[in-house]
């Protein structure tokens, strides 16, 4: 059982993340201020540094928090659509990502917008939460492959890429062929790009009156390139 001191520390860290989120809504990630966090908490600046050593550490907390929340929503959408076709499951994942990004544009921008100058995300803290979305997509494709519903796509791969893909297959215990895995990573990056286009206003004001429908069509098309039968 956690001690009262541990409980208090966890609550303070949650409050720091909450205030950091609020800052992101009105400022850029590069302008995050621990002094402002301290003022909001009613603490002197030196007290906050006992919890978060610098701005980069605050950024990491916010990045992990955003990745975990986004990942959880995509995973829930995939799980809830388990009885649907694989394409519909991918569309459900995409719509969950879109919904979260539209609701949390500043946090989506933190994950997929302009990199913060001078900041390097620590892999030990960010890789696992940062891959939750792609792992959810791969789960759909792996399920389809194991059921025999996924055709193996053709195409030669450079040796360097094949080496990376084989490593990923081993790391995540995938039976998915490496050629399909390559297409799956392309699906992931295309999904991020499509959502970013809408969140950042790149389609323009009058181009798409139903961007959710466009995203479904886009994902269905990409699903065909990955090896799934399309509607």
Q: Does residue 151 sit in the same domain as residue 220? A: yes
Which ranges in 42-117 belong to alpha helices (H)? Answer: 45-48, 55-80, 86-103, 105-112
Q: What is the mean pLDDT of residues 129-155?
A: 97
What is the C-alpha separation between 81 and 119, in angstroms, rounded?
A: 37
Indicate if 101 and 199 belong to the same structural domain.
yes
Q: How many helices (H) and strands (E) does the chain have?
A: 11, 0
Secondary structure string (H, E, C) spanning 153-203: CCCCCCHHHHHHHHHHHHHCCCCCCHHHHHHHHHHHHHHHHHHHHHHCCCC
Residue 176's pLDDT band (cuts 50, 70, 90): very high
User: Residue 190 domain-assigned?
Assistant: yes
State residue 205's pLDDT score: 87
CATH number for 33: 1.10.10
pLDDT at residue 46, as a whole number? 86
**What's 74's domain CATH number?**
1.10.357.10
| Domain assignment of residue 62, yes or no | no
**The tokens of 125 are what?**
């803290």
Rounded to whole angstroms, how far apart are CA atoms 36 and 19? 9
Percent of the chain with pLDDT over 70: 100
Structure tokens at 53: 């050593």
Q: Could you tell me if 150 and 202 lie in one domain? A: yes
Range of the domain at 74: 67-226
- Kindly state whether residues 207 and 97 are assigned to the same domain: yes
CB of 195 closer than 8 Å to CB of 98:
yes
Per-residue pLDDT at 5: 87
Rounded-to-integer distance, Cα 223 and Cα 191, Å:
11
Closest CA to 52 of 65, 63, 61: 61
Residue 175 shares a structural domain with residue 216: yes
| Whether the predicted pLDDT of 98 surpasses 90 | yes
The model's confidence at residue 113, banded by pLDDT at 50, 70 and 90, is very high
Same domain for 5 and 82: no
Four-CA torsion 78, 81, 84, 88, nearest 10 degrees: -60
Whole-model pTM: value is: 0.94
Domain count, the chain: 2
- CA distances to 3, 77, 184 from 80, in Å: 37, 5, 21
The candidate with the shortest Cα–Cα distance to 56, out of 37, 29, 79, is 29
Same domain, 84 and 179: yes
* pLDDT tens digit sequence for 47-77: 898 999 999 999 999 999 999 999 999 999 9
* C-alpha to C-alpha distance for 139 and 146, rounded to whole angstroms: 10
Distance of CA 198 to the CA centre of its chain: 16
Alpha-carbon gap, residue 98 to 133, rounded angstroms? 12
Residue 126: CB atoms within 10 A of its CB come to: 16
Q: Are residues 115 and 47 in the same domain?
A: no
Q: Mean pLDDT of all residues in the chain?
A: 95
């Amino acid at each position: 059982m956690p001690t009262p001191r541990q409980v208090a520390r966890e609550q303070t860290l949650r409050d720091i993340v909450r205030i950091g989120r609020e800052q992101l809504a009105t400022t850029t990630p590069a302008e995050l201020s621990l002094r402002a966090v301290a003022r909001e908490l009613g603490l002197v600046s030196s007290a906050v540094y006992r919890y978060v050593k610098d701005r980069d550490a605050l950024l990491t907390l916010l990045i992990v928090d955003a990745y975990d929340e986004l990942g959880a929503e995509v995973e829930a959408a995939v799980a809830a659509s388990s009885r649907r076709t694989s394409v519909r499951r991918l569309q459900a994942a995409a719509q969950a990502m879109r919904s979260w990004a539209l609701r949390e544009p500043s946090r989506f921008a933190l994950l997929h917008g302009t990199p913060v100058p001078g900041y390097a995300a620590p892999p030990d803290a960010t890789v696992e939460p940062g891959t939750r979305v792609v792992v959810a997509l791969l789960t759909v494709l792996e399920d389809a492959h194991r059921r025999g519903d996924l055709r193996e796509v053709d195409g030669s791969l450079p040796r360097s890429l094949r080496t990376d893909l084989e490593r990923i297959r081993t790391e995540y215990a995938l039976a998915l062929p490496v050629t399909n895995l390559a297409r799956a990573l392309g699906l992931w990056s295309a999904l991020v790009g499509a959502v970013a286009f809408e969140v950042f206003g790149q389609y323009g004001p009058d181009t798409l009156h139903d961007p959710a429908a466009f995203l479904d069509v886009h994902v269905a098309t990409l699903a065909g390139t990955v090896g799934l039968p399309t509607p």
